[in-house]
Amino acid sequence: MRRLPVYLLLDTSGSMTGEPIEAVKNGVQMMISSLRQNPQAIETAFLSVITFDTTAQQIIPLTDLASFQMVDLKATGVTALGEALKLTAHKIETEVAKTTTEQKGDWKPLVFIMTDGIPTDNWESGLNEFKKVKTAYTVACAAGGGADTAILKQITDTVVSLDTADSASIGKFFQWVTASIGVTSTKIEDLGKEFTNVKELPPPPSELNIIV
């Protein structure tokens, strides 16, 4: 059984306090409920949540959708995005099965990053670690005007921004992530092909501005 690993990197720094963090929690819950209705996603998608504030931690290891239980998120501290990238690289190395001559490994992971601020640690060294692992694609979302899209563009070519980090905008981002995971799991189940072209994702809703 080849899994489709999905890593969510969520900013839980102090500036996310209040409506933004609640919107993220609701967004993840909505995403899980929706993906559980998708027969292909429930077969293949495995989800992990990594949060970053003053430090980064994996609060949920790679888990199948049926068993996935969201935990409470608290917003506090600063924005250790570099540490989150390094931790994600380590988890991809240890949790994702590699293809060998004997067996096909897992599909390349999808990584979704959401942040409302500017990294407060050495994000370049974290990015160097992250670049060593193979992902299908990475999407970074700048929530509100406080995030630096230029930094996110160095992490991935696929950067979207939300004008505001309110519940409506964040909800739309998670709806798009849900659709993207759904489309990817359907494609690999139906075609059995690695999926690396972000252009094949569903078009983002109007609330998401694509940064080119």
Which residues, in sequence order, are bridge partners of residue 111?
Answer: 7, 138
> What is the bridge-based pairing of β-strands 56-64 and 45-52?
antiparallel
Q: 4-35: per-residue pLDDT in tens?
A: 999 999 999 999 999 999 999 999 999 999 99
Q: 106-150: per-residue pLDDT in tens?
A: 999 999 999 999 999 999 999 999 999 999 899 999 999 999 999
Please state, in angstroms and rounded to a whole number, the distance separating the CA atoms of residues 194 and 84: 25
Please give the model's pTM, rounded to 2 decimal places.
0.96
- Band (pLDDT 50/70/90 cuts) for residue 196 is low
Q: CA dist 137 to 36, 112, 122, Å?
A: 22, 9, 22
